[in-house]
Structure 1
Amino acid sequence: MSESRETDPSPAPIDKLLAAAVARRFYLENQSKVDIAKAFNISRFKVARLLDAALAHDIVRIDITVPAEIDVPLSQALTERFGLRHAVVVNLTSGEGGVPAVGDAQQVSRWLGTAAAQLISEIIEGDDVLGLDGSRSVEALSEAVARLPSCDVVQLTGVHGQDLANDTVVAAVRRTAEAGGGRAFPLYAPFALPNAQTASILRSQPAIAGTLDRFGRVTKAVVGVRAWEADRSPVYEALTDQEREMYRASGACAEVAGQLFDAAGQAVPMRLNARTIAISAAELRRVPEVIGVSGGERNAGAIRAVVRSGLLTGVVTDATTARRLLGDEGVDEGADDVSRARGAKVVEAAG
């Protein structure tokens, strides 16, 4: 049956729901105008008009940006030194041409999140289950990722704000799942509760328990790496002064998905876990691939510690931090120490 050309103009105002649905299939799902026309029983010419209208009515916004430069030699050097599967080093040193200087923490997180989105797009497969924590870089990843194979996306840590349903990490999990048409498993629960009993009651709630049960199925995870200090760490903010002193005395310097590590890369035992809603250190170590995302001068020591722990199989960071990591580790000891730590991770997972 031949397609008839429509001669009537698009109605005004436009059908915004239809325009949004057409735009989503075209821009996010990469469907052709012909396929979209068949799906909605309209002509391809109307599809074209709806796409134009979606732009004109600000339903779709297109930003054309020049991506930050990836430093391939530094990326390769990190991979080889620490025995990583993946390393992406973004050059953020110039502060020119739309690329932020390293000192701009918010913009650094955005560029690193964009690089992490590209990495995840390349390594995720259809049978994967992707875990995301509540870091700023993961939020940026969710905004940058355009398309993924259909996979489930699981929230690994509870929220830190008051609006549980609309928290940024919940939104990030939803957006990332939508990029692949997979299922989202958010955690509508605070990260830290007043006491262990309250946390236990929340964990038993069906919606929350359903997400917690998914932790053991996560095959790839993206987590932020933070320095453990005031105004930088959700764990720090959740502790009493006495608890902070206790963990400081234990050498805590880095935080990943609500877990603490000392400078040697050893996990710091935490009584706080009894009243938090988050993936445990043991569960995180059982995830086959964990990508750590972090950069900036204040987080350099934290990244170094978590790399030494053997928890990470991949790193996304900036060039200045990468050079610091390579310069601070001895050529012989870096990969050997991480390999031993990763071997311990494998043994623990097997057990």
Structure 2
Amino acid sequence: MSRPDPEPTPQDEAARAGWLYYVGGMTQDQIAAELGVSRQRAQRLVSRAMSEGLIHVRLHHRIGACLDLEAALTARFGLTRARVVPGLGPGADPVRAIAPAAAAELERFLRMPEPMVIGLGTGRAMRGMIDAMVDMEAPQHRLVSLIGNIAPDGSASFFDVVMRIADKVRAPHYPMPVPVISPTVEENAAFHALPPVRRVVDLARNADVVFVGVGQMSDDAPLLKDGFVSRADLDEMQAAGATGEVAGWVFDSQGTYLDFGTNRRTGGVRVTPGLDRPAIGIAAGASKVPAIFGALKSRIINGLVTDEATAKALLAHP
């Protein structure tokens, strides 16, 4: 049985202080205020985190409270994998917290000797994950984008990660050569009828493991901010119950994909709910909680890398 509210050990405190200092970029005064200790104790905790090898770019000590949240998420949503990391405090970018853990999770698959096809979504969290990765040789695997990599103006999508990861992994990689969202249903069908596109789509549909970001569909929707949908598109989908999106495909609060709006013009491959292979979401932040919850409930994703605050909010979600 998981511990509902474990007492922090001295090593827990040192690990948390080291995380806030080396990853969060906090001063010792800020860490002292965050942990409720004196500045001198905060300084000693940070020093201990380094001297004991708890911090070396990534957090090596698994804080007990995070382990309990992982167990609770796994039990509630039937996850195949859950990683929860300490948050960086109010106002901090949650991508900075989760990127190293997400990178370690992807590297775990890349180190497997058996050849695999790894499907990748896009977005800020996914890009943060790739930026946090170490360089490695993994030529036995194939990396494929799940979503189109052409922006509305014809440029490459800024948050596309397949080309970015190729520089670090040196593995065969397959971008999805279609618009993220086509102007019309007919144009989307024409792109997907092209033989090279069909081959990439088939590869993506049969990916052995999937890593995706989870976007919210509130007024700060990434699809709107990045120019892939118009304000009218977003209003229309919000009226139909749009709550979140994975790889550009929009779903409601129950995680049911909408047969509506831009979903009829979205390029690439939809992540099928209930996959029998890992589909890991990389996402954190208060605004994303309803979207992550819907994706977990319908099992669009069956694994999650997130932070403490988001994990607690998901477990408290009705």
Secondary structure at the aligned position of 1:157 is classed as strand
Maintained 8 Å contact 1:165/1:188: no
Secondary structure at the aligned position of 1:211 is classed as helix
Change (3 A) 1:141 1:249: same
Structure 1 gap ranges (5+): 1-63, 94-100, 330-351
Change (3 A) 1:229 1:287: farther
How far did 1:258 drift? 1.2
The alignment status of 1:311 with 2:309, answered yes or no, reads: no
* AA of the residue aligned to 2:119: G
Counterpart mapping for 1:109-128 below 5 A = 109-124=95-110, 125=112, 126-128=114-116
Corresponding position of 2:222 = 233
Secondary structure at the aligned position of 1:298 is classed as helix
Secondary structure at the aligned position of 2:79 is classed as coil
Secondary structure at the aligned position of 1:268 is classed as coil
Moved more, 213-222 or 232-241: 232-241
Maintained 8 Å contact 1:227/1:302: yes
* Equivalent-residue separation in structure 2 for 1:293 and 1:73 (angstroms): 19
* Equivalent-residue separation in structure 2 for 1:275 and 1:267 (angstroms): 13
* Equivalent-residue separation in structure 1 for 2:207 and 2:90 (angstroms): 32
Secondary structure at the aligned position of 2:219 is classed as coil
Higher helix proportion: 1
Maintained 8 Å contact 1:263/1:302: yes
Counterpart mapping for 1:187-202 below 5 A = 187-202=176-191
* Equivalent-residue separation in structure 2 for 1:191 and 1:310 (angstroms): 23
Change (3 A) 1:160 1:323: farther
* Equivalent-residue separation in structure 2 for 1:198 and 1:291 (angstroms): 30
Corresponding position of 2:73 = 78
* Equivalent-residue separation in structure 2 for 1:117 and 1:211 (angstroms): 24
Change (3 A) 1:226 1:166: closer
Q: What is the aligned counterpart of 2:239 among 249, 256, 269?
A: 249
Moved more, 310-319 or 270-279: 270-279
Secondary structure at the aligned position of 1:121 is classed as helix
Maintained 8 Å contact 1:254/1:261: yes
Q: What is the aligned counterpart of 1:138 among 126, 149, 173?
A: 126
* Equivalent-residue separation in structure 2 for 1:191 and 1:291 (angstroms): 21
How far did 1:145 drift? 2.2
* AA of the residue aligned to 1:122: R
Corresponding position of 2:266 = 276
Q: What is the aligned counterpart of 2:208 among 219, 242, 263?
A: 219
* AA of the residue aligned to 1:322: A
* Equivalent-residue separation in structure 2 for 1:242 and 1:176 (angstroms): 34
Q: What is the aligned counterpart of 1:323 among 287, 312, 317?
A: 312
How far did 1:110 drift? 3.5
Counterpart mapping for 1:1-351 below 5 A = 65=57, 67=59, 70=62, 71-93=66-88, 101-105=89-93, 108-124=94-110, 125=112, 126-146=114-134, 147=136, 149=138, 150-159=140-149, 161=151, 167-170=157-160, 172-234=161-223, 237-239=227-229, 243-282=233-272, 286=275, 288-329=277-318
How far did 1:320 drift? 0.5
* Equivalent-residue separation in structure 1 for 2:283 and 2:60 (angstroms): 15
* Equivalent-residue separation in structure 1 for 2:228 and 2:165 (angstroms): 27
How far did 1:90 drift? 1.1
* Equivalent-residue separation in structure 2 for 1:163 and 1:252 (angstroms): 25
Change (3 A) 1:242 1:143: closer
Secondary structure at the aligned position of 2:96 is classed as helix
Structure 2 gap ranges (5+): 1-55
How far did 1:134 drift? 1.3
Number of residue-to-residue matches in the alignment: 255
- Larger Rg belongs to: 1
TM-score normalised to the size of structure 1? 0.64
Change (3 A) 1:154 1:169: farther
* Equivalent-residue separation in structure 2 for 1:78 and 1:315 (angstroms): 9
Change (3 A) 1:287 1:235: farther
How far did 1:186 drift? 0.7
Change (3 A) 1:290 1:118: same
Change (3 A) 1:102 1:162: farther
